[in-house]
Amino acid sequence: MAWLVTGGAGYIGAHIVRAFQADGIDVVVIDDLSSGHAQFVPDGVPFVRGSILDRPLLDRTFAEHTITGVVHVAGFKYAGVSVQRPLHTYEQNVTATVTLLAAMQEAGTDRIVFSSSAAVYGTPHTDLVTEETPKNPESPYGESKLIGEWLLRDQGVATGLAHTSLRYFNVVGSGSPELRDTSPHNLFPLVFDALVEGRTPRINGNDYATPDGTCVRDYIHVADLARSHVAAARRLDAGEPVEAVYNLGSGTGVSVGEIMSTVASVTGIGFEPEIGPRRPGDPDRIVASGELASRDLDWKMRHTLDEMVQSAWTSRQSAAL
Ligand SMILES: NC(=O)c1ccc[n+]([C@@H]2O[C@H](COP(=O)([O-])OP(=O)(O)OC[C@H]3O[C@@H](n4cnc5c(N)ncnc54)[C@H](O)[C@@H]3O)[C@@H](O)[C@H]2O)c1
């Protein structure tokens, strides 16, 4: 009996794999390594290398392992790039989810936890985003994640699939030094890459309607996030009720300016960030309530901002060794 983690060789998936192991639940990973790393999969975890778009491969995976549920993490996550590559985004995030759900149905696997995103909200006109906040995705990426949620909902009605979708806000930090976010588009890797290469990190705009003029976001630690997937899987295994969606947000905003000064103090590298122009479409502030997830999914912030930056920096440095 195991849970299948799609995208388990990626930044978040690899943390989820470790959280399941720590809780005594066996896992199987499927990943095509399009943005993941084989070395992120722990020794001893069965690793199927290939795409979840490959239906025969999925069928073989379900036949070879007794899989009770799926954490569906695999996806194309670059929201900005998705605007230029809508078909690729829909193929990876929508067609792939349809293929996975069909294989699950065939195999009789009836539990799924889905990696959704804050991007389903677009630019929310509220200080605190709740699950009820209107969904107005502003990129093919955000749209594809919302469609993923609908696919689960509709399969739930049609087949009794037990499901929940977790809308992540800004996932940062590291739970193990060997794991890190290698995205070329996320704030932490961009800042660290600049520092390692001797460039000055840049802030995109400092004239937003926020206390220090820089964008405010909701940063959450990847290991805290991973634990909530275990709690979700446990609830589904026990047949306990779950919400269709949960926000994994901290309720607290941190500005890009504050991130920069924390990075400077944690790394000991003194720098004054360059101020560049605003990026089109960046809202002033996005902060979410994680109240429902706290009630049901053991969700809480177990790490401070310093710890998020420190753990991410440590893993970035071990990668450079
Ligand atoms: N990182 C964030 O801040 C964030 C925020 C919101 C939502 N998410 C979502 O969380 C998930 C994981 O994000 P991440 O940051 O770990 O990204 P990541 O790119 O590190 O992980 C995605 C993994 O999925 C694999 N993959 C992609 N397409 C696949 C396919 N067709 N078949 C098999 N494997 C495939 C990749 O190789 C990679 O290992 C994504 O679905 C992303 O959209 C991430």
Query: Average pLDDT for residues 63-88, to the nearest whole number?
Result: 96
Residue 106 CB coordination number (10 Å): 13
The residue nearest atom 25 of ligand 1, judged by CA position, is 7
How much is the pLDDT for 318?
86
pLDDT above 90 for 282: no
The answer to whether residues 40 and 9 touch, using CB atoms and an 8 Å cutoff, is: yes
Residue ranges of domains in the chain: 2-171+219-248, 173-218+251-287+302-319
From the CB of 164, is ligand 1 less than 6 Å away?
no
Q: Is the Cβ–Cβ distance between 71 and 16 less than 8 Å?
A: yes
- Is there an atom of ligand 1 within 6 Å of 61 CB? no
CATH superfamily name and code, 2-171+219-248: NAD(P)-binding Rossmann-like Domain (3.40.50.720)
Nearest residue to 288 (alpha-carbon basis) of 108, 173, 129: 129
Name the residue at shortest CA distance from atom 2 of ligand 1.
171
Cα-to-centroid distance, 270 and ligand 1 (Å): 33
Q: Tell me: the pLDDT tens digits for 92-110?
A: 999 999 999 999 999 999 9
pLDDT digits (tens, 9 = 90+) for 115-132: 999 999 999 999 999 999
Say which of 141, 168, 208, 246 is annotated catalytic. Answer: 141
Q: Answer whether residue 76 shows pLDDT above 80.
A: yes
Atom of ligand 1 nearest to the CA of 9: 39
Handedness of CA 284, 189, 220, 120 (dihedral sign): positive
Mean pLDDT estimate for the chain? 96
Q: Is residue 173 classed as helix, strand or coil in its secondary structure?
A: coil
Q: Which of 82-91, 156-165, 312-321 has the lowest mean pLDDT?
A: 312-321
For 168-218, write each residue's pLDDT tens digit. 999 999 999 999 999 888 899 999 999 999 999 999 999 999 999 999 999
**Active site (annotated) includes residue 141:** yes
Residue 321 has pLDDT above 70, yes or no: no
Q: Give the burial class of 4: count Cβ atoms within 10 A of its Cβ; 0-12 exposed, 13-18 middle, 19 or more buried.
A: buried
CATH architecture of the region 173-218+251-287+302-319:
Alpha-Beta Complex (3.90)
pTM, entire model: 0.97
